Structure 1
Amino acid sequence: MNKLIFTFIEAHKIDILEEWIRTTKDENDDRVVRVVSDQVFNSTSREFADLIITNLKGDKGDYHTRLKEFAEKVVRLGWPLTFVSSGLHTFGVIVFKRMEQSGVMTIENQRSLFREFDEWMTSMNIEIIGIYATTWEKTVSLQKIALQELSAPLIPVFERITVMPLVGTIDTERAKQIMENLLKGAVKHRSEVVLIDITGVPVVDTMVAHHIIQAAEAVRLVGAKCMLCGIRPEIAQTIVSLGIDLTQFTTKNSLQKGIEAALEITNRKIVNMEGLK
């Protein structure tokens, strides 16, 4: 970095930071400023500006560590990449405007200063975009894994009886997750009866029914009985109209009825204690 530029930024750091924060807040869209308080926005913006100055100093070890931490914070806040890319551009505009106003930048040195500063900004921008993209991809990947695990849980409700409540649409990828969780869970919990509750599934078409039948067959092969619960009237009509054959396993219209049937299969039943008094 040109010594003249660095010296000027160091000498006017506070004023540059304040103007940069004000300008950044005015120029960013509501996605950035709406979801956090002014305090969080100001502290995060100041942290980014400090990162830029740290990079100017050439302390790459500390800079890379702090840049990674900053990228993770920005991704957690849900701020777009434009916050950092446009922020860097704004920083450069402010610096050159102030250098020109103070007379530090003249007609004679303007071209060389701009070329060197532009090379530095381009290099830093590429680095920031790369780290942001990597952090975002990692975060999305972890969230996707977590959602997949939560989207098809197998829950033990009684000894040897487990329930898998399904909510939302079922595509091929999710169907694979359902199959995997069913098989692992049935073996882990030593299930004799597995209840698949489709109360929260809005549409049961041929593909969804096919996946459910496959899952039921797979559960049967590991020694457990599969029961389909939560068949609403409109779902029943769709199944009949599509000619889907669900005769190979028991169906119930509610999870409550399914649990009662599962208890009978495992030689248990629900007893009303009031009647025994």
Structure 2
Amino acid sequence: MDSQFKKIVLENSDTIVRMWVEEVNALKDANYTSSISEELFDSTNREFVNVIFTRIKNVEPAETLEDFAEKLINLGWPLSYITDGLQVFRRVTVDFILSQSEKVDSNHISLVLQSVDKWVEPLIRQLVNEYSGNWENVVSLQRLALQELSAPLIPVMENITIMPLIGTIDTERAKFIMENLLEGVIRHNSEVVLMDITGVPVVDTMVAHHIIQAAEAVRLIGAKCILVGIRPEIAQTIVNLGIDLSQFPTKSSLRKGFTTALEITNRKIVDLDTKVDNLENMINSLHRE
């Protein structure tokens, strides 16, 4: 920035900031920040102004652009807050410098615009790039977390695991289900896998095909897959579509599926109260003898 203009801006920073805050407040509805509390909005505006003025002062900022952009993402603020805020700052700064000029002609206006742009444009690019880079990183981490949650394999008992499926199953998710299922079966040494589709809203030909593929893959590595959560409407859809699920057991509920899994692994549910009563009767009988 031209040294003369820089001096004007620094000497009148309070006035410029006040003008900027007034215009930024007026844009709250336009850039989707109207739901943010006044206290948080004011404190963030102060931080924004500090970040901007560190550039014109050429001093080491207490808070870097990277920190500020990351903070906005964590708070869920839109990118338009940054772009609108910097555009407003440019306009307010230009207007104020021109208002302090004794002579205003086209050459002077052009000089002011060029000078302010040399200061603000790099700031816009860097802040937008930092925001975008941080946002892509957050989205990537969220995508990985969602993938892990989309097809969890839960060991509930030795050799028995459950995979609860919730939501729509598309081709990409089906691939992840298959990979997680096979890896989990080997890792947990599973003999039986209960695939629970209670939370799957629609089972069409494609979804059924993916499920059959997963069950067949489990069979090939030496385990058995039981499909549970077959609601009446899903059973009717499967029949109407002519889908063959005869290769592996199906149960209407997780409880019934778990009972079947116990039978397959040579275990069963025992009523402890009945067992205790029988044991007491046996002891009493021995005492009588």
- TM-score, normalised with respect to structure 1: 0.91
Q: What is the SS of the residue equivalent to 2:125? A: helix
Distance 1:178 1:105 in 2: 72
Give how far 1:170 is off. Answer: 0.3
Give how far 1:45 is off. Answer: 1.8
Structure 2 letter corresponding to 1:261: T
Larger radius of gyration: 2
C-alpha contact (below 8 Å) 1:151/1:166 kept by paired residues: yes
Q: What is the SS of the residue equivalent to 1:33? A: coil
1:171-213: CA deviation from partner (whole Å, max 9, x where unpaired): 0000011011101111111111100000000100111011111
Give how far 1:230 is off. Answer: 0.0
Match of 2:287 in 1: none
| Matches for 1:26-37 after TM superposition, within 5 Å | 26-29=26-29, 31-34=32-35, 36-37=36-37
C-alpha contact (below 8 Å) 1:21/1:46 kept by paired residues: no
Match of 2:240 in 1: 241
1:199-247: CA deviation from partner (whole Å, max 9, x where unpaired): 0001001110111111111111222111100000000011011111111
Match of 1:167 in 2: 166
Structure 1 letter corresponding to 2:104: I
Match of 1:183 in 2: 182
C-alpha contact (below 8 Å) 1:195/1:258 kept by paired residues: yes
C-alpha contact (below 8 Å) 2:73/2:134 kept by paired residues: yes
Distance 1:170 1:86 in 2: 40
Match of 1:147 in 2: 146
Give how far 1:62 is off. Answer: 4.6
Equivalent pairs counted in the alignment come to: 273
Q: Are 1:47 and 2:47 matched, yes or no?
A: yes
C-alpha contact (below 8 Å) 1:25/1:33 kept by paired residues: no
Q: Are 1:212 and 2:205 matched, yes or no?
A: no
Distance 2:86 2:103 in 1: 23
Q: What is the SS of the residue equivalent to 2:226? A: strand
**Structure 1: segments with no counterpart, 5+ residues:** none
Match of 1:94 in 2: 92
Q: Decide which moves more: 125-134 or 66-75.
A: 125-134
Match of 2:64 in 1: 66
Q: What is the SS of the residue equivalent to 1:246? A: coil
Distance 2:15 2:273 in 1: 77
Among candidates 42, 62, 73, match of residue 75 of structure 1: 73
Distance 1:229 1:105 in 2: 82
Match of 1:256 in 2: 255
Give how far 1:143 is off. Answer: 0.8
Q: Decide which moves more: 173-182 or 4-13.
A: 4-13
Q: Decide which moves more: 263-272 or 12-21.
A: 12-21
Structure 2 letter corresponding to 1:93: R
Q: Decide which moves more: 243-252 or 214-223.
A: 214-223
Q: Decide which moves more: 11-20 or 254-263.
A: 11-20
Structure 1 letter corresponding to 2:155: P
C-alpha contact (below 8 Å) 2:20/2:88 kept by paired residues: yes
Cα pair distance change 1:105/1:245, threshold 3 Å: farther
Give how far 1:105 is off. Answer: 6.5
1:148-182: CA deviation from partner (whole Å, max 9, x where unpaired): 11111001111111101000000000001101110
1:19-50: CA deviation from partner (whole Å, max 9, x where unpaired): 3233212202373231x322222222211211
Q: Are 1:57 and 2:57 matched, yes or no?
A: yes
**Structure 2: segments with no counterpart, 5+ residues:** 278-289
- TM-score, normalised with respect to structure 2: 0.88
Q: What is the SS of the residue equivalent to 2:165? A: strand
Distance 1:45 1:269 in 2: 65
Q: What is the SS of the residue equivalent to 1:259? A: helix
Match of 1:197 in 2: 196
C-alpha contact (below 8 Å) 2:98/2:104 kept by paired residues: no
C-alpha contact (below 8 Å) 2:197/2:228 kept by paired residues: yes
Query: Once superposed, which parts of structure 1, at least 4 consecutive aligned residues long, lie more than 6 Å away?
Result: none
Match of 2:271 in 1: 272
Q: What is the SS of the residue equivalent to 2:33? A: helix
Distance 2:67 2:264 in 1: 55
Q: Percent identity?
A: 51
Structure 1 letter corresponding to 2:271: N
